[in-house]
Structure 1
Amino acid sequence: MSLNGVKFKANPTSEQKLILSQWMGCARFIYNAKCDEDQYLRTFLKHSLSLTGWSVPIDQTYSQFKTELTPWLADCPSQILRNSSVRWYEAYQRYFQGLAGRPSKKKKGKKIAFG
């Protein structure tokens, strides 16, 4: 089975560019927050909870990042936030399979795409 995709160049208006930029920022924020959360939990569990036998939870949740400190996440469609979390989860699964390194933070200005 082969996967086929279609690429096309979009020519958004300046208003649409602003909205897309905000949405991409929200997606990047969720992905980076998941990376930070993973780093914190691995460090915390390694030093504090190793005696309990707990393991680091690897999940696709993102609702813990939608707080009163981040009201702008409510303006972003939930599908974008969910997909960002799923992409982090899939990157982590590739890391466990030995196909890639541990997921790292995304930076603004790199390849900009929705998928």
Structure 2
Amino acid sequence: ALDQLVRASEAAGTPTSLRIIGDPRDVPSLAQVNLYRIAQEALTNARRHAGPNVTADVRLRYSDDDVELEVTNTGRAVIGSRAGLGTLGMRERATSMGAFLEAGPRESGGYLVRVRVPLA
């Protein structure tokens, strides 16, 4: 349902793209829900905090061993901010799947949220 999430993000005023890389594989239901919610939170944060003219990109990468979700935006990074409840929730979702969440400002500007879920 990431395509629907991307359309909703665009309808809310954030130009958003979706790219699926690799051959789709079966992903456990819990992981599907958690990846969706992580993407949803990352896009909400972009809309709320990244400033005007922000764009977002959602990428879902399949490999033989894992699936990776990456959500980036071109907005401003909030300097000196501490992780809020949304980021904490994303980390908890990642941990529940045996995954690690990377979230923070990008060197090129904007913000990155990435989680790789092992499919073993």
Q: Give the TM bin, normalised by the shorter chain.
A: 0.3 to 0.5
Q: Which has the higher contact order (CA 8 A, sep 6+)?
A: 1
Higher helix proportion (structure 1 or 2): 1
TM-score (norm 1): 0.36
TM-score (norm 2): 0.35
Choose 1 or 2 for highest CA Rg: 1
